[in-house]
Amino acid sequence: MTMICCTLTGVDQNTSSTRLRDLADKFPEAEFGILFSPERSGRQKRFPTFAEIQSMLDAGPMQWAIHLCGRAVPEFIRAAVSQNSEERDCESFRLATHPGVSRIQLNFAFRRAKFSLTELDAAIRSLSIPVITQEHRANEGVSLGIKAPNHQVLFDTSGGRGIETSDWFPPIEGKTCGFAGGLGPDTIGRVLPSIQQVCAGQQFWIDMESRIRDRDDWFDLDACENVLSTSQRLLNS
């Protein structure tokens, strides 16, 4: 098996912690992603509040990934490269350095960013856990420009919108890469073999968000279990 994890993004305040624990125990490859944005926190279903996220992380050990969005990204970078205790008290940095978090993902468009590639690289190096950036048009040059050994890359042409793609790029040499774009219960069976093929034995992960939500836009644990079961069957066949 070359898939290091299956990231299920968008755990929210309505998600059953008991059922989540059951899935984590049954599928050790499951990683649960939590979206954090100061602008949208507590205002949109996909973005729990800081306090709600802390409660999730404190509930018990699982593979948790924090996906920092919007203003949280530059806040984290400033705090990570600074020795100022006040800056490091910001919510984004506290989540990124929470002991229960196994990976961080930084969601940004570099062409509009107010930080440099040098600052980004330094911020990533400051953490002992893997830090993910996205590979897409607005981040041209970022993936190859970051030299931090704990840097990982997510190919995501969909940008969290659930748009399916059939054009999977091969992993970047020397970096662990992940793949997103329209993955979910109805597509994983035909898409995962294609990703495996393009990775040619290299380690990878998959990530999904939009297609594992119910009609009311809440995190759908039934859809998650469907994806995990199908993935496990395909990878072990």
**Cβ distance 35 to 47 under 8 Å?**
yes
What letter would DSSP give residue 219? Answer: B
**Please, how many CA atoms are within 13 Å of residue 34, restricted to the half-sphere of its CB?**
31
Whether 178 and 205 have beta carbons less than 8 Å apart is answered as yes
Name every residue whose Cβ is closer than 8 Å to that of residue 115 and which is 6 or more positions away in sequence: 73, 74, 77, 78
Q: What's the pLDDT score for residue 166?
A: 66
Determine the pLDDT at residue 86.
86
Per-residue model confidence (pLDDT) at position 129: 98
Please state, in angstroms and as integers, the Cα–Cα distance from residue 107 to each residue in 48, 66, 70, 110, 224, following that order: 16, 10, 7, 9, 22
Per-residue tens of pLDDT for the chain, all 237 residues: 589 999 999 999 999 999 999 999 999 999 999 999 999 999 999 999 999 999 999 987 899 999 999 999 999 999 999 988 888 999 999 999 999 999 999 999 999 999 999 999 999 999 999 999 999 989 999 999 999 999 999 998 665 566 677 678 899 999 999 999 999 999 999 999 999 999 999 999 999 999 999 999 999 999 999 999 999 999 988
Q: Tell how far CA 28 is from the center of its chain.
A: 16
Nearest to 30 by CA among 236, 237, 227, 193: 227
Return the domain boundaries, the chain: 3-236
- Strand 204-208 and strand 177-180: pairing? parallel
Dist CA 121 CA 209 (whole Å): 26
User: How crowded is the C-beta side of 202, counted as CA atoms within 13 Å?
Assistant: 16
Q: What pLDDT, on the 0 to 100 scale, is given for residue 161? A: 61
Q: Could you say which of 3.20.20.120, 1.20.1440.230, 3.40.50.300, 3.20.20.70 is the CATH number of the domain covering 3-236?
A: 3.20.20.70
**Residue 152: how many other CB atoms lie within 10 Å:** 22
Taking a C-beta distance cutoff of 8 angstroms, is the pair 176, 151 a contact? no
Residue 52 phi/psi, 5-degree rounding, is -65, -40
Phi, psi (rounded to 5 degrees) for 131? -125, 130
